[in-house]
Amino acid sequence: MFFAKNFVSLPVEEQWNYIIAHTPDGIRHGLSEIVRRDGGSCVVNFYEALLNRPDAAVFLERDTVERRLRGSLLKWLERLFPAHETDIHGLRALQEKVGSIHAQLEISPNLVSYGFYFVKMSLCLLIVDHFETKEEQIKAIIYCQSMVDFAMTYMNKAYNTDFRKKVEQDQSFKMFSLGQDLNFEKETQKATFFDWSTQVLFCLCEQRVADLQTIGESQFGLWMTHKGQNLFKGTDDFVLLGEMIESIDRRIVAVREKNVVPAGFAAELRNNIKDVTFLTNRLFQAMEALQSGLDPLTKTLTRRFLDVVIQNEIAFSLTHDKEFSIVLLDIDFFKKINDGSGHLAGDEALRHVADIIMNTVRSNDFVFRYGGEEFLIVLTESSSADAADCAERIRSRIEQSAIPCSTGATLSLTISGGIATFQGGVKISTLIDQADRALYAAKDAGRNRIEIYSRTSA
- Taking the alpha carbons at both ends of the chain, their separation in whole angstroms is 48
pLDDT digit string, tens, across residues 329-384: 999 999 888 888 777 788 889 999 999 999 999 988 999 999 889 999 999 999 99
pLDDT tops 60 at residue 169: no
**Angle, alpha carbons 179-428-320 (nearest 5°):** 80
Question: Do residues 196 and 158 both lie within one domain?
Answer: no
Question: Do residues 159 and 12 both lie within one domain?
Answer: yes
Question: Do residues 159 and 184 both lie within one domain?
Answer: no
Element (DSSP H or E) covering residue 419: strand 415-422
Question: Do residues 356 and 264 both lie within one domain?
Answer: no
Q: Are 189 and 280 in contact (CB under 8 A)?
A: yes
Half-sphere exposure of 23 (CA within 13 A, CB side): 31
Q: For position 84, which CATH number holds?
A: 1.10.490.10
Nearest alpha carbon to residue 156 among 102, 196, 210, 204: 102
What pLDDT is stored for residue 442 in this prediction?
96
Asked whether residue 433 is assigned to any structural domain, the reply reads yes
pLDDT digit string, tens, across residues 267-284: 899 999 999 998 898 888
pLDDT tops 80 at residue 309: yes
Domain edge (last residue) among 225, 256, 287: 287
Q: Are 185 and 280 in contact (CB under 8 A)?
A: no
Question: Do residues 409 and 431 both lie within one domain?
Answer: yes
**Angle, alpha carbons 433-437-440 (nearest 5°):** 135
Asked whether residue 55 is assigned to any structural domain, the reply reads yes
Which of 115-124, 288-297, 344-353 shows the lowest mean pLDDT across its residues?
Answer: 288-297
**Angle, alpha carbons 34-37-39 (nearest 5°):** 75
3-class secondary structure, 325 = strand
Question: Do residues 246 and 334 both lie within one domain?
Answer: no
Where does the pLDDT of residue 50 fall: very low under 50, low under 70, confident under 90, or very high at 90 and above?
confident
Alpha helix ranges (H) inside 83-207: 88-105, 109-130, 134-168, 182-205
Question: Do residues 338 and 394 both lie within one domain?
Answer: yes
Q: Supply the range of the domain harboring residue 105.
A: 7-168
What pLDDT is stored for residue 131 in this prediction?
94
Higher pLDDT, 311 or 245: 245
Nearest alpha carbon to residue 330 among 438, 247, 454, 221: 438
Give the contacts of 221 (CB within 8 A, at least 6 positions apart): 196, 214, 215, 245
pLDDT tops 80 at residue 106: no
Where does the pLDDT of residue 292 fall: very low under 50, low under 70, confident under 90, or very high at 90 and above?
low
pLDDT digit string, tens, across residues 402-455: 888 766 778 889 999 999 999 876 788 889 999 999 999 999 999 999 999 987
Q: Number of structural domains, the chain? A: 3
Asked whether residue 365 is assigned to any structural domain, the reply reads yes
What pLDDT is stored for residue 458 in this prediction?
55
Q: What average pLDDT does the segment 181-210 reach?
A: 86
Domain edge (last residue) among 255, 287, 319: 287
Asked whether residue 458 is assigned to any structural domain, the reply reads no
Q: Is the dihedral of CA 378, 384, 386, 392 positive or negative?
A: positive
Nearest alpha carbon to residue 3 among 31, 30, 23, 28: 23
Give the contacts of 170 (CB within 8 A, at least 6 positions apart): 308, 311
What pLDDT is stored for residue 373 in this prediction?
93
pLDDT tops 70 at residue 61: no
What pLDDT is stored for residue 67 in this prediction?
63
pLDDT tops 70 at residue 55: no
In this structure, the number of other CB atoms found within 10 A of the CB of residue 336 comes to 11
pLDDT tops 90 at residue 166: no
Question: Do residues 214 and 268 both lie within one domain?
Answer: yes
CA distance 33 to 19: 19
Mean of all residue pLDDT scores within the chain: 84
Q: What average pLDDT does the segment 12-17 reach?
A: 86
Backbone angles phi, psi at 403, to 5 degrees: -105, 110
Q: What average pLDDT does the segment 221-230 reach?
A: 84
What pLDDT is stored for residue 179 in this prediction?
44
Asked whether residue 355 is assigned to any structural domain, the reply reads yes
Name residue 450's beta-bridge partners: 417
Element (DSSP H or E) covering residue 451: strand 450-452
pTM reported for the whole predicted model: 0.52
Nearest alpha carbon to residue 186 among 33, 266, 290: 290
Question: Do residues 159 and 207 both lie within one domain?
Answer: no
Q: For position 420, which CATH number holds?
A: 3.30.70.270
Asked whether residue 457 is assigned to any structural domain, the reply reads no
Asked whether residue 201 is assigned to any structural domain, the reply reads yes
Domain edge (last residue) among 168, 197, 222: 168
Considering the chain, what percentage of its residues have pLDDT values greater than 70? 87
Backbone angles phi, psi at 416, to 5 degrees: -120, 150
